Chain A
Amino acid sequence: MTVRGLPLPSLGGISSPLRRAPGTPSGRWLRGRGPLHLTLIAIVILWSIPTLALLISSFREATDINASGWWNAFKDFNFTLDNYDEVLNQRGMGSAFVNSLIITVPSTILVILVAAAAAYAFAWMRFPGRALLFIVVVSLLVVPLQMTLIPLQQLYGEVQIDADLPVLGGRIFGVGSYPGVWLAHAGFGLPFAVYLLRNFFGNLPRDLFEAAYIDGASDLQVFFRIALPLAAPAMASLAIFQFLWVWNDLLIALIFLGDPDLAPMTLRINNLVSSFGQNYEVLTAAAFLSMIVPLLIFFALQRYFVQGILAGSVKG
């Protein structure tokens, strides 16, 4: 799959050669397409029940959740917003939501900007060591995060830069600083981002760039006026990926953000699981809060999401 020029496929947007002509006589439903429909519906129900169970339970009274299954919810019909009130106001999920945004948005922007510039150079500029450097980037794609965490945690412990900035928790770099976490996420996200965008830029027609340079355009003009606008769909896919990646991360928050006041939602929920392991009224509401943004992104931008997955894996 190439990203360029094609209309973005949604899930099932293109008609499939596997689809047979409709119109099987209804009398032969069971011998014909009946089992297919039943299987598919069963799969979708099976796959959706866990998430629906969580959603329904999060609106039930604490006493109900711990006494009867979620499937009784409609029989009793006793719903409440108390659980959300509790996790938002007493269990710190409100501030954790804000923290998740503070961590995720700058990390995403940083990765896209840095990766786009590098990818453009890798695709259209000539310099010594270009091929070798790009192979280094490609091999960094599969390096396990675990290979970096010990030295980085040590580095963050030794190099701590404090400043009087209330918005960043008072620290510019080191353990418990947001910029430190942004940079760490940027480092881990860059290989994929550079790889994806370089392939995209590399597939744009050469004439486009040559014509612009002959007309006297500078690198910056070509980059901002030609390359970036064409790359908008690819960058949207990348942004969604990077956003969800960082938003859903636990490991990096666990290691680089010691202070619970700075914790994103994943870290906060992890702590709630340790201290309220069986209090499902707290856990279900907290977990669903953390899912709202990813689910909104998923349903609103599904095309780009799918496109990103295809570009990242099939295309390469």
Chain B
Amino acid sequence: MIGRRWWAPWLWIGPALAILGVFLVYPVVDTVRRSFLEGGRGGGALTLDNYRFIAENPQSLVADPHTAIVNTALWIVLFTAVTVTLGLLFAVLSGRVRYEAIAKSGVFVPMAISFVAAAVIWRFMLEFNQDIGTVNAVVTGVGIDNPDTNGSTDWLRDTGSLQTWFTNAGPNELQGPIQINNMVLIGVGVWMWTGFAMVVLSAGLKGISGEVLEAARVDGANEWQVFRRIIVPILSPTIMVVATTLVIFALKIFDLVWVITGGRADTEVIATLFFREAFLLGDFGLGAAIAVGLLLWVVPLMVISIRRFQFQEEIR
């Protein structure tokens, strides 16, 4: 009886399909087309120049795809790993006290605010002047001076590696993706998103039967063993979902990097490079190729989410 006239369902999904078609499907196809055009405009012959530019990186001072790719990979791995770990830790700890709701709110609040506001918050926290910048005030206050400046650290511009900072190895000797400023940016991302991981994992934790945990404790398991051998395995599907969400988010990270460092001092990520190339320098062809590169990273995740959906349909 449902859907009596053949055209009735199309009236219901029509508006959604129209909007999705114009604002998602058509642009995605067109972006792929433009990535094979010189400058991304007009007719002209198809070319692989845009992809060649990304592969060969000839003008790394103007646009540096390799740094952007390495940094994005770093975001994906570090941001996801740290956020999931902290989220799980906070979920387990806060589940054991009576002021759980308050403790969680404190960690969760940054999720509600914009990246732009978070960027302002952290530019202020990381201010170089140790009379104003909280982080430098604390770090120099406890007597740890930066070997380069004998005082504050310029957290957002310091391209030295963490290692040089701790071992006094001298100014910026070990350059590479594990730069202080990249670590700091990823840290801001972690500050914002740990609440998300915590809330989802905490809901998963509450689904674990207390009897199972008690049985393990009665059998002599210590708290670490309970955590490692029971809680983590039971939670692993939830952990995967959280991690997938965070990976997708890390891939597209734009606002935070754009407002805090603008991609300067080798903090560029793929999304900021895309914006710079396409909309500041006006090279739609290269911009489109960069975007297609992003899409390729997402394809495995797309397959996973379709599989997950089909699985749910089967058990429905």
Contacts and interface: CB of A to CB of B under 8 A. Distances in A.
- Asked if A and B are interacting partners, one says yes
B176 interface: no
Contact of A251 (B34, B40, B191, B275): B275
A247 B114 contact: yes
B93 A40 contact: yes
A28 B106 CA distance: 28
B141 to A, nearest CB: 10
Nearest to B277: A150
A284 B120 contact: yes
Contact of A313 (B20, B23, B123, B200): B200
A39 B93 contact: yes
B218 interface: no
B66 interface: no
B213 interface: yes
A48 B106 contact: yes
Interface string B1-37: 1110010111011011101101111111011001000
Contacts of A127: 3, 6, 9-10
B252 A270 contact: no
Max chain B Cβ within 10 angstroms of own Cβ: one of A9, A126, A142, A153: A142
Contact of B123 (A39, A49, A273, A291): A273
Contacts of A270: 116, 258-259
B131 interface: yes
B302 A142 contact: yes
Mostly, the B contact residues are helix
Using C-beta atoms within 8 Å of the partner chain, give the interface range for chain A.
35 or more
Contacts of A232: none
Nearest to A184: B23
Contact of A36 (B26, B96, B275): B96
A117 interface: yes
A3 interface: no
Max chain A Cβ within 10 angstroms of own Cβ: one of B20, B194, B196, B248: B20
Contact of B31 (A22, A126, A151): A151
A135 B309 contact: yes
B12 A117 contact: yes
A186 B116 CA distance: 21
A284 B134 CA distance: 14
Interface stretch (B142-150, B166-174, B292-300): B292-300
B185 to A, nearest CB: 14
A151 B30 contact: yes
Contacts of B241: 313-314, 316
Interface string B290-316: 111011001001100110110010001
A210 interface: yes
B161 to A, nearest CB: 25
A18 B199 contact: no
